[in-house]
Amino acid sequence: MRLINHQPMLISNAGYANQGVHIPSPNVDARPAHEVSLIVIHNISLPPSQYGGNGIVELFTNQLNPDEHPYYAEIYTRKVSAHFLIRRDGHLIQFVSCLQRAWHAGQSNWQGRERCNDFSVGIELEGSDFEAFELAQYETLKNLITALKLAYPITAITGHSDIAPGRKTDPGDFLTGQKLLLKALNAHDKNNKYFVFMALFSIFPLRLRRKRCR
Enzyme catalytic residues: 124
- What is the rounded (10 degree) CA torsion for 125, 129, 130, 136? 20
Asked whether 159 and 40 are in contact (CB, 8 A), the reply is yes
Q: Which stretch binds Zn ion (CB under 5 A): 34-42, 55-63, 110-118, 183-191?
A: 34-42
Do residues 129 and 13 lie in contact, with contact meaning Cβ atoms separated by under 8 Å?
no
In the complex, what is the shortest distance from the CB of residue 162 to Zn ion, in angstroms, rounded to a whole number? 11
Which residues, 6+ apart, have CB-to-CB distance to 60 below 8 Å? Answer: 23, 25, 27, 80, 81, 82, 85, 95
Q: Looking at 20-28, 30-38, 60-68, 162-170, which segment touches Zn ion (CB under 5 A)?
A: 162-170
**Footprint of Zn ion on 138-157 (CB under 5 A):** none
42 binding Zn ion? (CB under 5 A): yes
**Considering only residues 160, 163, 185, 202, which one is a binding residue for Zn ion as defined by CB under 5 A?**
160
- Shortest distance (Å) from residue 155 CB to Zn ion: 20
- Sign of the C-alpha dihedral computed for residues 163, 89, 175 and 146 taken in this order: negative
Is residue 170 close enough to count as binding Zn ion by CB under 5 A? yes
Give the nearest distance from C-beta 213 to Zn ion in angstroms. Answer: 28
CB of 129 to Zn ion, least distance (A): 10
| Beta carbon nearer to Zn ion, 42 or 69 | 42
Instruction: State the amino acid at position 28 in one-letter form.
Output: V
Tell how far CA 50 is from the center of its chain.
17
Query: Which residues make up the interface to Zn ion (CB under 5 A)?
Result: 42, 160, 170
